[in-house]
Amino acid sequence: MLIHGLFGSLDNLSALRRQFTGAFQVLSVDLPDHGKSVFTESFGFVQYANHITELVNSLKIKQLSIVGHSLGGKVAMQIALNQHELISHLIVIDIAPVRYSLPLKYGKRQILMLLSQAMLLPHLLFATLWDKYQPAWQRVVCRSTEQLQSFWASQENHPAMVRHWMRRAANWSSRAIPISLHLDGVPVTGVGKSWAKSMLLISWCSMLGVGSTIDTNFLIYLVFTAIREEGPVNNTMDEVWRIIYHSFKALMRGKYPEDDPWGKNYRAEMPGSTEARNAGKWLTGASKMFGVLWVIKMDLEALYKDCASPHTCVSLDTS
């Protein structure tokens, strides 16, 4: 089963459908409130998951593999929580189970609310690619130690290399993955019209990755510009950058963080949790790889509008 993302339809994953057809029986669906499906009175992952489960049961399917993209991935994870025996394989693309409450404007009256938002944190994806998907790691992160050493040799005369903190790490040129952070405002509705609405997309990639942009760039977070709160106390981008800074700091240390973005210790506040069990461990085990934020790509408008936060103006020196 292929489940599309927010504002999409069953046609969005047609490329995957063509690849799977022949080897599998493929079922593409329109989520409720999308495509040609009926519009519902209420929105929610649980309701959407129930609709999909009812469809599967009506087709007398005992078990299936699900590929979910973005919103479809969240729905697929909810199905797995509700009826894990229904799913033989679960593939979730461009979305993460990590959620944070961020100040956002809600509804026609633009009421300020703390709304739960999903973020795909760089250090977690970095660790997962290394641990679970080595072929993908070699393609989109780093092919070999020789490739890594060659890159850093080419940067030897770069001004940032002078007294750079990473050079204090043992065998740093064989362990430090150069990372690029990318910010871009993208029109998503009313494209070309005066009433066009844009989203801010924040993504990252390894500078050693090989392939198309869609293969090598990893989404961190996206948000409609119009619903961001920009007040001095409740500021959407302040909180977004706090969380991203926290993730990049972990990535640059090469270890899972011991505290959350607000300074609460995982072992003390969340004993027994995955975060508490992983705290302080190397992201890539014995190899001790780490990421170095080497390039930030954005235009001047993004620099002015989206980076005016104290969390984007601090040193990431992890000494």
Structural domain boundaries in the chain: 2-93, 101-312
> What sign has the CA pseudo-torsion 43, 45, 47, 51?
positive
Rounded Cα distance, 198 and 208, in Å:
30
Rounded Cα distance, 244 and 265, in Å:
18
Numbers of helices and strands, H then E, in the chain: 11, 10
Q: Digits of tens for pLDDT over the chain (319 positions)?
A: 999 988 888 998 888 899 899 889 999 999 988 888 888 777 778 889 999 999 999 999 999 999 998 889 889 988 988 888 898 888 888 776 676 777 777 766 667 777 677 788 999 999 999 998 899 999 999 999 999 999 999 999 999 999 899 999 999 999 999 999 999 887 777 666 665 677 888 999 999 999 888 889 998 988 888 888 887 778 888 888 999 999 999 999 999 999 999 899 999 988 888 899 999 999 999 999 999 999 988 877 777 666 665 545 444 444 3
Q: Which two tokens stand for residue 5?
A: 């993302």
Strands (E), 107-235: 111-118, 176-189, 197-206, 218-224
Domain spanning 2-93, CATH architecture: 3-Layer(aba) Sandwich (3.40)
- pTM value? 0.69
Q: Report the b/e string of 286-298 with b at 16+ CB within 10 A.
A: eeebbbbbbeeeb
DSSP states along 201-265? EEEEEETT--S-HHHH-EEEEEEEGGGB-B-SSSBHHHHHHHHHHHHHHHHHHTB--SB-TTS-B
